[in-house]
Amino acid sequence: MLAALLYGQEDLRLEQVPDPTPAAGEVAIKVGAATTCGTDLKVWRRGGHARMLIPPTLFGHEAAGRIVAVGAGVTNWQVGDRVVANNSAPCMKCFFCQRREYSLCPNLTWNNGTFAQYLKIPASIVEHNLLQIPDELPWELAAMTEPLACVLHGVARSNIKSKDKVVVLGDGAIGLMFVAALREKAEVLLWGGNNDRLEIGQKLGATQTFNYHQIPEIPSVVKELTQGWGADVVIEATGVPSVWETAIACARPGATVNLFGGCPRDTSITVSTEQLHYNELTIKGVFHNTPEYVRSALALIASRKIPFELLISEQRPLKDLEQVFSDMKARKVIKVAMIP
């Protein structure tokens, strides 16, 4: 089959590799659509990911498709089923899993390789994070289950109350998904650097949008809009250390700051101990998703209550993948549905 392999920093190659054969407990799917992700872009630019993959490796982690083969012992699935598979599954046995802190499981089974004609799903994912999708749901929408699951996990951990003023920093796919997920819960102030994306943010439910190229003093503007105090909740969705610091500066006393965007390895930020202590801030990182939110994400997408199709900039064949990543780097597209 044709598949994309990551060899290193911005070194992505399309190669012919053997078709996957599912072992016991596994299934193989024919990929209907694989969507690109900001995490994929970061991994491509950095040449790897400390937890999810080590090059050279099959690449990509968001996909939906149809089962074409099942391994021994698989009884709940059959050839022809339309499915979406999360890119991981917890072990369900460790210290953290026993406390239902599944995203912290040190034994997470990771799966990459969605930018290919076929994809093998490991047994633990088949058991815990493989879901059937409705016949009428387009492949590219179902493929967005994984990032939306991460966002719903982030929302749940952000201590958001009704009518809170929430600042979202970042107009990438994740930031825009946060806007969509919060549209009925809070007033969302979205900051980004692309007017087209900010317009999509408005369509997804942002109360107000701001372009930081035109209004760079983010904390002072946030305070002007919140009676001088700052936001009730701030969600950072860029993965840039300086923006993490900006997020903290936007927070009112008693606020929660969700540092959601993953920064490069070995980076750090500076936090005012006075502000953290006397303002009683809650500053937290939130990582990945759990089986509960994978199911919630698919249900929300399948409901069609939110126009998540606005996040798909275009559809492209697999041969265009390298150009697609160049376009993502230049911020010409948000998410692209690769159709192998």
Confidence (pLDDT) at 55: 86
Residue 92 predicted with pLDDT over 80: yes
Q: Give tens-digit pLDDT for 187-219.
A: 999 999 999 999 999 999 999 999 999 999 999
Neighbours of 204 (CB within 10 A): 22
Q: Could you tell me the pLDDT band of residue 66, with boundaries at 50, 70 and 90?
A: very high
Q: What angle do CA 40, 46, 47 make, to 5 degrees?
A: 85
How does strand 231-236 pair with strand 208-211? Answer: unpaired
Per the CB < 8 A criterion, the answer to whether 143 and 34 are in contact is yes
pLDDT-based confidence at residue 47 (cuts at 50, 70, 90) = confident
Please give the share of the chain, as a percent, with pLDDT higher than 90.
Answer: 95
pLDDT (0 to 100) of residue 30: 98
Query: How confident is the model over 277-282, as a mean pLDDT?
Result: 98
Helix (H), strand (E) counts: the chain: 11, 18
pLDDT tens digit sequence for 113-142: 999 999 999 999 999 999 999 999 999 999
pLDDT at 153: 98
Q: Which of 193, 208, 199, 255 lies closest to 230 in space, CA to CA?
A: 255
pLDDT band at 52 (very low <50, low <70, confident <90, very high): confident
Confidence check: pLDDT of 147 > 70: yes
Q: What is the predicted pLDDT for the residue at 50? A: 65
Sort 308 into a burial class: Cβ within 10 Å, 0-12 / 13-18 / 19+: buried
CB distance 265 to 165 below 8 Å: no
Return the structure tokens found at 319.
Answer: 């041969």
| Alpha-carbon distances of 217 from 167, 196, 211, 247, rounded to whole Å | 14, 21, 11, 12
Global confidence as pTM: 0.96
- Taking only the tens place, the pLDDT of each residue in 222-239 is 999 999 999 999 999 999
Q: What is the pLDDT of residue 54?
A: 84
Q: How far is CA 260 from CA 58, 153, 188, 232, 276, in A?
A: 26, 10, 16, 16, 18
pLDDT above 70: percentage of residues in the chain: 100
pLDDT for 286 beyond 80: yes
- Provide CB contacts within 8 A for 303, sequence distance 6+: none
Q: What is the mean pLDDT of the chain?
A: 96
Long-range contacts from 50-54, C-beta under 8 angstroms, 24+ separation:
50/265, 51/108, 51/110, 52/87, 52/110, 52/112, 53/6, 53/110, 53/112
Q: What is the pLDDT of residue 112?
A: 95
Q: Token pair of 237, please?
A: 């969705």
pLDDT value for 51: 72
